[in-house]
Amino acid sequence: MAMRWKNTLKDHHVTDEAVFMNRRSLMGGAAAGLGLASIGATASFAQTDELVASSYEDITQYNNYYEFGTGKDDPAKYAKALTTEPWTVKIDGMVDKPGDYAFEDIMKAMTIEERIYRFRCVEAWSMVIPWNGFELADLLGMAGVQSGAKYVALETALVPDEMPGVKYPVLEWPYVEGLRLDEAMHPLTMMATGIYGKDIPNQNGAPLRLVVPWKYGFKSIKSVVRITLTDKQPPTSWNKANAREYGFYSNVNPEVNHPRWSQASERVIGGGLFSKRIPTLMMNGYEAEVGSLYAGMDLSKDI
Amino acid sequence: MSSVVDKINGAVRRVPTWAVYILYLLPVPWLLYLAQTGGLGREPIKALEHELGEIALQLLIIGLCITPLRQHLGLNLLKFRRTLGLLAFTYVALHLLVWVVLDMSLLWGQMWADIWKRPYITIGMAGFMALLPLAITSNNLSVRKMGAASWRKLHKLTYVAVILGGIHYIWLVKGIQFEPIIYMAVILGLIALRYKRLLK
């Protein structure tokens, strides 16, 4: 079920990439008609109009991908070495059709669409990123989720020869993440394979990475090689490293104090030396869409 | 060996302290220039803040080297100790200023909360507070007024400040990273060299 969500960020905000604009004008009509009303997909935000998509350079030259080093420019410097062809994603656990899925076969079966999402790092910086990709729900549907499955575990490639950062025990490798099944099936949750209409660069998680826009960026695991459906809450890398600071849910929440960073505000990357902080939005501005997933939960405890 | 040391000591005597001030303040305009021209990367605020903090920590560490260099090698750099201390304080103050004005956009409420709730900021701030009386009393008049013994006692706060600086760095990075651990090891090593004297 592709196209279940319609961009709330306006088209004219992405103006600096002519290629992307051409593709958008072709797809805009199709996207407009298919939003699911029940998900509140057409909710609009006061802040929306002021947001501008981050530049391609900011998106691809300032990020975290600790397998290539802990510096913000390390991924752009070193990720070129990663071999992304051929690429297979092992889908296993509680699915009807477990197996190794070739990246090309996945791409043939999926409908690629554009999603302009806010991206909020737990380190209190943010960007607005025009992703291309497909809904994770569609990929899971391809493998057939069994009725007992409750969680989805995801794993990043671990290639020591090509990843200089994994020599250091910053985290336990490989990097692993997880979502509750309803989070994974939500129309906002996507697997991104492109940025600005181009193939996603290695440093941003080629050839395919998760994007969960209402959670802190570290949940959006890169270069996925394995997806496991399970009935138990899977371990997640940052939670294993420091459970007090990084919970399983890690929803963007300006009201929950993180021991290391105030989450009340954020800086949008790209504003230079005098860039001001802006207030952080509950669920990164996606509360209307995803708030109901957490009904009855105490979000100050279930971090 | 001793002739080399004598030569260095002789050369050091001819270097005026103001030259060290000028030399060590040059990175400030250079970093500001880099920050404005993209030389500090896509997010110049954090980069500038970190560079200033790191230089401050390095200056404090160099300051800690002076006594062991004299005791173990006979190298006399004592005349630069105050210079290095005041420069370190200058860099800590600039680091703090960048945090207040550029990083936190003068959001006083959030900063106040951060100082109390986020241990690495609490520790960094405590380090700054420890350096403050040292900077104020780093002049001959203060030594005379306080008396050498109590002045020396006060200035043992340097050890507290540099340890707080090292912890601040370890704590602010995510996960286990080597660079701050190396800084801390050097700091503890330099303090261990004088543990007997400190116990007295």
In this prediction, residue B1 carries a pLDDT of 60
Between residues A38 and A158, the one the model is more confident about: A158
Do B197 and B71 touch, CB atoms closer than 8 A? no
Whether the upstream peptide bond of residue B180 has omega within 30° of 0, thus cis, is no
In this structure, are residues A88 and A102 in contact, taking their beta carbons and an 8 Å threshold? yes
Mean pLDDT of chain B: 93
The answer, yes or no, to whether residue B3 has pLDDT greater than 70, is yes
pLDDT at position B112 is: 92
State residue A2's pLDDT score: 81
Instruction: Return the percentage of chain B with pLDDT > 70, whole number.
Output: 98
CA distance A28 to A8: 12
- Mapped onto helix, strand or coil, the DSSP state of residue A268 is strand
Q: Nearest Cβ partner of A259 from B43, B118, B177?
A: B118
Binned at pLDDT 50, 70 and 90, residue A212 comes out as very high
3-state secondary structure B21-78: HHHHHCHHHHHHHHHHCCCCCCCHHHHHHHHHHHHHHHHHHHHHHHHHHHHHHCCCCH
Q: Which of B118, B174, B182 to mutate to test the interface with A (most CBs of A within 10 A)?
A: B174
Residue A38 has pLDDT above 60, yes or no: no
* Mean pLDDT computed over every residue of chain A: 87
For B14-33, how does the pLDDT look when each residue is reduced to its tens digit (9 = 90+)? 999 999 999 999 999 999 99
Beta sheet of A224-230, edge-to-edge order: A99-102, A88-93, A224-230, A151-156, A176-180
- Kindly determine whether residue B44 and residue A259, on different chains, have CB atoms separated by under 8 Å: no
The pLDDT score that the predictor gives to residue A280 is 96
Whether A270 sits inside 8 A of B42 (CB atoms) is: yes
pLDDT recorded at residue B187: 97
Task: Return d(Cα A122, Cα A215) in angstroms, integer.
Answer: 9
Please state the rounded mean pLDDT for residues A9-35.
Answer: 42
CA dihedral B170, B176, B178, B183 (to 10 degrees): 20
> Per residue in B138-183, pLDDT tens?
999 999 999 999 999 999 999 999 999 999 999 988 878 899 999 9
Distance from C-alpha of A243 to C-alpha of A262, rounded to nearest angstrom: 17
* pLDDT higher than 80, residue A14: no
Query: What's the pLDDT score for residue B89?
Result: 98
Q: Look at B105 and A259 and tell me if their CB atoms are within 8 Å.
A: no
Q: Which residue has the higher pLDDT, A275 or A232?
A: A232
For A215-250, b where at least 16 C-beta lie within 10 A, e where not — what string?
Answer: bbbbbbbbbbbbbbbbeeebebbbbebeeebbbbbb
Kindly determine whether residue A70 and residue B173, on different chains, have CB atoms separated by under 8 Å. Answer: yes
| Cβ-Cβ contacts under 8 Å, A171 against chain B | 175
Give the per-residue pLDDT at A50. 57
Summarised one tens digit per residue, pLDDT across range A213-268 is 999 999 999 999 999 999 999 999 999 998 888 999 999 999 987 777 789 999 99
Q: Which residues of chain A neighbour B118 with C-beta distances below 8 Å? A: 259-262
Cis peptide bond prior to A207, omega within 30° of 0: yes
- Chain B residues in contact with A123 by the CB 8 A cut-off are 174
- The per-residue pLDDT for A245 is 86
User: How far is Cα A246 from Cα A249, in angstroms, rounded to an integer?
Assistant: 8
Query: What is the C-alpha end-to-end distance of chain A, expressed in Å?
Result: 30
Pairing of strands A190-195, A209-211: antiparallel
CB contact under 8 A, B107 and A267: no
Rounded mean pLDDT, A74-88: 96
pLDDT of residue A33: 36
Return the pLDDT at A20.
44
* Angle, vertex CA B167, rays to CA B100 and CA A245, nearest 5: 80
Taking only the tens place, the pLDDT of each residue in B5-15 is 999 999 989 99
ipTM: 0.79
For residue A200, the 8-state DSSP code is P
